[in-house]
Structure 1
Amino acid sequence: MATWPSSSDPSNQEAVAIRKRNKSDQIKFLIPLIYAPVLPLIRLTLRKNPVVRDRLFTAVLVGAFAHGSYLVTDLYDIESK
Structure 2
Amino acid sequence: MATPSNPSDSEVVYRRQNKGPPFKFLVPLVYAPVLPLIRLSLRKNPVLRDRLFTLVLAGAFVHGSYLVADLYDVESK
TM-score by length of 1: 0.72
Could you tell me which residue of structure 1 aligns to residue 74 of structure 2? 78
Q: CA RMSD in A?
A: 2.0
One-letter code of the match for 2:70? D
Could you tell me which residue of structure 1 aligns to residue 53 of structure 2? 57
CA apart distance, 1:24: 4.2
CA distance in 2, matches of 1:36, 1:78: 27
One-letter code of the match for 1:41? L
Q: Return 5+ residue gaps in structure 1 as ranges.
A: 1-12
Aligned length: 65
One-letter code of the match for 2:50? D
Identity %: 71
Q: Runs in 1 of length 4+ with deviation above 3 angstroms? A: none
Could you tell me which residue of structure 2 aligns to residue 45 of structure 1? 41
CA apart distance, 1:58: 0.2
TM-score by length of 2: 0.75
Q: Tell me which of the two structures has the higher relative contact order, counting C-alpha pairs closer than 8 angstroms and 6 or more residues apart.
A: 2
Could you tell me which residue of structure 2 aligns to residue 8 of structure 1? none
Larger Rg computed on CA atoms: 2
For the structure 1 residues 25 and 77, does the alpha-carbon distance in structure 2 shift closer, same or farther, using more than 3 Å as the test?
farther
